[in-house]
Amino acid sequence: MKQTVDVAAYIWPAYTGTEPRARIFWEEGEGEWQTVRRAAPKFPGHPWPRRPLWGYVDEADPQVMERQIEAALSHGVNVFIYDWYWYDGRPFLEQCLDNGFLGASNCRSMRFYLMWANHDAKYVWDKRNAEDSKTVVWRGKVTPEDFEVIGRRWLEQYFGLENYYRIDGRPLIAIYDIQNFVDSFGGVEQTAEAMRWLDGLARGSGLAGVHFQLINCGEKNTGLTGVDGEPGIPMREVCRLLPFSSITHYQFVHFVNINRAYDAVLPDVEAEWARNAGQYGLLYLPHVSIGWDNNPRFSTLRPNILRDNTPEAFGRAMRRAVAAAKATGAPMVTVNSWNEWTEGSYLEPDNINGYGYLEAIRQAVLE
């Protein structure tokens, strides 16, 4: 059966030891696998430890990614969304994309695009200090000069690749933190100018422009000028003032109460799909998360846990998301995630459910 809706899974590119700066958070040199290895139950029935069936592999290794691409495609996941970082004037955690994915012999069979994860980097990645929620290690805000370097990097290294994901011929770039994005340029008007600059740069290189995607991380007002304390404007006004073309989500935890059973959460999720499709004037790509349990990152119990997130429950959500996408003409469903092990939301096979989540996608989109 032909796949009529693309399925795009976010990738957290921290499962490698090839990024020198990653040792600030994971000193043993294998990235966040260090945290996964040490995860343990915090109460009776807590489903940890969870262990990867593929092992603690280096996802910046092309041979590792060849196997993962094959598994993804055979189960209906045909797009990877790589979390992309820029801190302290340089990229961070690019190796999984540059060395692993793009080095894989079969990477052209899988499409991909970037989500600029432009949030502040704090100590949540470092279990030794994760309880400190205030200290900022690196700012996600950049300078306009930085953005010119970033935009040219995207264009020169990624946008022109034949397997870079496009909508209406335009390479797609997703923006995670709208407030940091606006603050980087000193206001909404200047941000719109920067977006138009990148669009023009892409057109000048022979592309059809840039498709900007907004990640909706919750209904928070965005400041117009980047000045602390201003009241800000709602998301629908941001969407009117800035040249975004589509909107999606990154995680259920951003917009629903997840401290419930999965099936109890799903009606609220569907309501959010409908609200986003109707309220912002943008193409909405329905989003499905697999779970939420970020206890591996902390020494103390984090009680907000999405319960009963079985492959069967996830499969029901996927089927409804595919139907919602088809109903509105959206080309894609986004999924959190391929490998967010320390947040309890991953498609990679484990010792508890095996290939169950991947099979659920295959049944939703390929059968």
Q: What is the DSSP string of 134-155?
A: S-EEE-S---HHHHHHHHHHHI
Name the CA dihedral angle for 50, 127, 138, 79, rounded to a multiple of 10 degrees. 0
Q: Crossing angle, helix 178-185 and helix 188-204, to 10 degrees?
A: 90
Task: Name the fold adopted by 6-365.
Answer: TIM Barrel (3.20.20)
- Chain segment 245-263, per-residue pLDDT in tens: 999 999 999 999 999 999 9
The pLDDT of residue 219 is 80
42 has pLDDT over 70: yes
Cα 154-248-182 angle, rounded to 5 deg: 60
**How far is it, in rounded angstroms, from Cα 350 to Cα 166?**
32
- Chain segment 141-164, per-residue pLDDT in tens: 999 999 999 999 999 999 999 999
The pLDDT of residue 235 is 87
How far does CA 23 lie from the centroid of its chain? Answer: 22
**In which band, very low, low, confident or very high, does the pLDDT at 220 lie, cut at 50, 70 and 90?**
confident
229 has pLDDT over 70: no
Which residues contact residue 306 at a Cβ distance below 8 angstroms, ignoring those fewer than 6 apart?
Answer: 252, 253, 258, 259, 260, 262, 265, 289, 291, 292, 293, 344
**177 compared with 230, residue with greater pLDDT:** 177
**How far is it, in rounded angstroms, from Cα 230 to Cα 253?**
26
Q: Which helix (H) or strand (E) holds 356?
A: helix 356-365
CB atoms within 10 A of CB 232: 15
For residue 110, report the phi and psi dihedrals to the nearest 5 degrees: -115, 130
Amino acid, single-letter form, for residue 111: R
**How far is it, in rounded angstroms, from Cα 33 to Cα 26?**
9
The pLDDT of residue 367 is 74
For residue 272, report the phi and psi dihedrals to the nearest 5 degrees: -70, -35
User: 62 and 68 in contact (C-beta within 8 Å)?
Assistant: no
225 has pLDDT over 80: no
pTM beyond cutoff 0.85: yes
Which residues on adjacent β-strands are paired with residue 222?
233
1 has pLDDT over 90: no
Give the rounded percent of residues in the chain with a pLDDT score beyond 90: 92
